Amino acid sequence: MKNKWKVGFFVLLGVVLIGLAIIVSMIFMPIKDDPLPENSKNTNQEVGFNVQTNKKDLNLIIEHYIEEEGMKGPVDYEVQLKDDVELMGSVPVFTSNLDFKLDFEPKALENGDILLKQKSISVGQLNLPVSYVLKVMRDSYNFPEWVKIQPTDELIYVSLQDMKLKSDIKVRAKEFNLKEDNISFRLLVPVDRAQ
């Protein structure tokens, strides 16, 4: 009888150690970033309109877009614009989910895209590396092609120039200052001018 308990204990210990080894290897596994889009000049003629907005209205648009485009994936996540861009959701760990919150500092780039640089992170009571959480997010959630998550660099690149809108309208960020609630975009509408 003693041998059965001893064997059972060592089998259970082996399973726990293998599980821990898998988790540790996933955390320290090298992360490969997707390439960022190159700055390309558009040769088509376009008419531009400037649009000024605020965080409240843009939050409504972001929420609608995430739900409308089916970008929720297997686990829900939420994006909120406050003084920073906040990304909240949960990471699957074993049989449960671990809540996380990432804060990003946004910057409008010269080409009209937006760069979100990771500022702070909270993942339950754990101290997980930011690159690991970003990798799990990238692999678990259904983000559009124009959102590039770069775990190694701890940033998210929002390529507005690659975002597909109706009537081939293009969006370029001009100003994205959340602290002062100063958000402006340029909408570019392609026109066909007869020669």
pLDDT tens for 178-188 read 999 999 998 88
Q: Which region among 63-67, 77-81, 181-185, 191-195 has the lowest average model confidence (pLDDT)?
A: 191-195
Report pLDDT digits (tens) over 71-121.
555 556 788 999 999 988 876 667 777 788 888 999 999 999 999 998 888
DSSP-derived 3-state class of residue 3: helix
Flag whether pLDDT at 167 surpasses 60. Answer: yes
Mean pLDDT within 135-150: 81
Higher pLDDT among residues 70 and 9, named by residue? 9
CB 184, CB 53: distance < 8 Å: yes
Q: Please identify which residue in the block is written with the tokens 């929720």.
A: 72
Tokens of 166: 């109706």
What is the structure's pLDDT at 114?
92
Tokens of 33: 């970033």
**Residue 97, CA distances (Å) to 52, 69, 73, 107, 122 in order:** 38, 24, 14, 31, 14
How far is it, in rounded angstroms, from Cα 143 to Cα 121? Answer: 20
Taking residue 111's Cβ as centre, other Cβ atoms within 10 Å add up to: 15
Flag whether pLDDT at 39 surpasses 60. Answer: no
Q: Which of 80, 35, 28 is nearest to 58 (CA)?
A: 80
Say what the pTM is.
0.69
What is the structure's pLDDT at 190?
80
